[in-house]
Amino acid sequence: MSLLVVGSVAFDTVTTPFGHADEVLGGSATYFSVAASYFTPVSLVAVVGEDFPAKHIEFLKSRNISTEGLETVSGKTFRWKGEYGFDLNQAKTLETHLNVFQNFHPRLPESYKEAEVVFLANIDPELQLDVLKQVKSPALVVCDTMNYWIEGKYDALVHTLKSVDIMVINDGEARELAKEANLVKAAQKILSFGPRSVVIKRGEYGVIAFGRDGAFAAPAYPLESVYDPTGAGDTFAGGFLGYLVSTRNFSDASIRKAIIMGSVMASFNVEAFSLNRLKSLEYSEIEGRFMEFRRLTHFEDLS
């Protein structure tokens, strides 16, 4: 089953209480693709500038990520600079330079148009909808967004959600999108826009998912060492959807397992800056932490 992601590839400069990283590989599509590649091949659509090193493209290819849809154009690659305090749930953006990403208009290679599963990372909702018009007959469409689009293109985003099966979004953005302070009410409002499920990321507090038949909550994995939460949400989405695609099963039970797998991948991502932890990750470690999640959340029935 083929998996397509459309989003950003970027350079990040990040400072946390535990260190600093300058001009490292980042971007929503990058984190998503690398996490998902542990479970299934990925087709990536994004844009970079002439300054993007060949070594990064070779790394993506080494992870069984197709870069046929990674366009190189004249100019500089998208850059983001931010910092975190001890509240690692909240990033403070210091600088954003869209560069070539500002004029990004995704054009899918012919081989990508047969994609069965599509992840629309947090790009302009009008571009998200345009991507869906290029894909012939996807079995599952999942999207993310961010406060910039909620505030600037609300109506377009709500319109796009009519064509989405699952929305993955963080808690603050869910409240803003739904205009509801309560997450349960917010989720119900988002479901009314069209998705059949909404998966709400809550950082160190875990994940809660709502469908039309009920809810499912999972904690975050307790970690002693957290260095950089940048890309954790996109890594979660990659683990979530990569695992789901590998099962070829979109049932409620499979979605619940996929949420845990997404949480597993995000827990590894935050253990180092950029994609450094994901680059060294072994599948046996993923399996081991998945089982730890099972033990973490297991309890007996009342007797």
**How confident is the model over 37-44, as a mean pLDDT?**
98
* CB-CB neighbours of 148 under 10 Å: 12
pLDDT at site 22? 96
Please, what is the end-to-end C-alpha distance for the chain in angstroms?
43
Span 170-179, pLDDT tens digits: 999 999 999 9
At residue 252 the predicted structure's pLDDT band, cuts being 50, 70 and 90, is confident
Span 89-122, pLDDT tens digits: 788 899 999 999 999 999 999 999 999 999 999 9
**How confident is the model over 235-249, as a mean pLDDT?**
96
d(CA 286, CA 34): 14
Q: What percent of the chain has pLDDT over 90?
A: 85
At residue 279 the predicted structure's pLDDT band, cuts being 50, 70 and 90, is very high
At residue 191 the predicted structure's pLDDT band, cuts being 50, 70 and 90, is very high
At residue 230 the predicted structure's pLDDT band, cuts being 50, 70 and 90, is very high
**How confident is the model over 39-59, as a mean pLDDT?**
97
More confident residue, 300 or 238: 238
Judged by average pLDDT, the poorest of 4-13, 41-50, 79-88, 110-119 is 79-88
At residue 48 the predicted structure's pLDDT band, cuts being 50, 70 and 90, is very high
pLDDT at site 222? 87
**How confident is the model over 13-33, as a mean pLDDT?**
96
Contact 180, 204 (CB under 8 A): no
d(CA 300, CA 224): 27
Residues 6+ apart with CB under 8 A from 249: none
d(CA 33, CA 26): 11
DSSP per-residue string spanning the chain: --EEEE---EEEEEEETTEEEEEEEE-HHHHHHHHHTTTS-EEEEEEEETTS-HHHHHHHHHTTEEEEEEEEESSPPPEEEEEE-S-TT-EEEEEEE-GGGGG------GGGTT-SEEEE-SS-HHHHHHHHHHSS--SEEEE---HHHHHHSHHHHHHHHTT-SEEEEEHHHHHHHHT-SSHHHHHHHHHHTS-SEEEEE-GGG-EEEEETTEEEEEPPPP-S-----TTHHHHHHHHHHHHHHHHT--SHHHHHHHHHHHHHHHHHHTTSSTTHHHHH--HHHHHHHHHHHHHHH--PPP-
- pTM confidence score: 0.95
More confident residue, 173 or 223: 173
At residue 300 the predicted structure's pLDDT band, cuts being 50, 70 and 90, is confident
Segment 295-300 long-range contacts (CB within 8 Å, at least 24 positions apart): 296/219, 296/221, 296/222, 297/218, 297/219
pLDDT at site 108? 96
CATH topology of domain 3-297: UDP-N-acetylmuramoyl-L-alanine:D-glutamate ligase (3.40.1190)
Q: Is the dihedral of CA 212, 214, 219, 221 positive or negative?
A: negative
Task: Evaluate if residue 87 carries a pLDDT over 90.
Answer: no
**What value does the mean pLDDT of the chain take?**
94
pLDDT at site 88? 81
| Tally of CA atoms within 13 A in the half-sphere of 295 that contains its CB | 7
Span 139-165, pLDDT tens digits: 999 999 998 899 999 999 999 999 999
Task: Evaluate if residue 86 carries a pLDDT over 90.
Answer: no
Residue 138 CA: distances (Å) to CA of 41, 118, 124, 133: 16, 7, 20, 10
- State residue 18 phi and psi, 5-degree precision: -115, 10
Task: Evaluate if residue 71 carries a pLDDT over 80.
Answer: yes
Token duo for residue 208: 């809660």
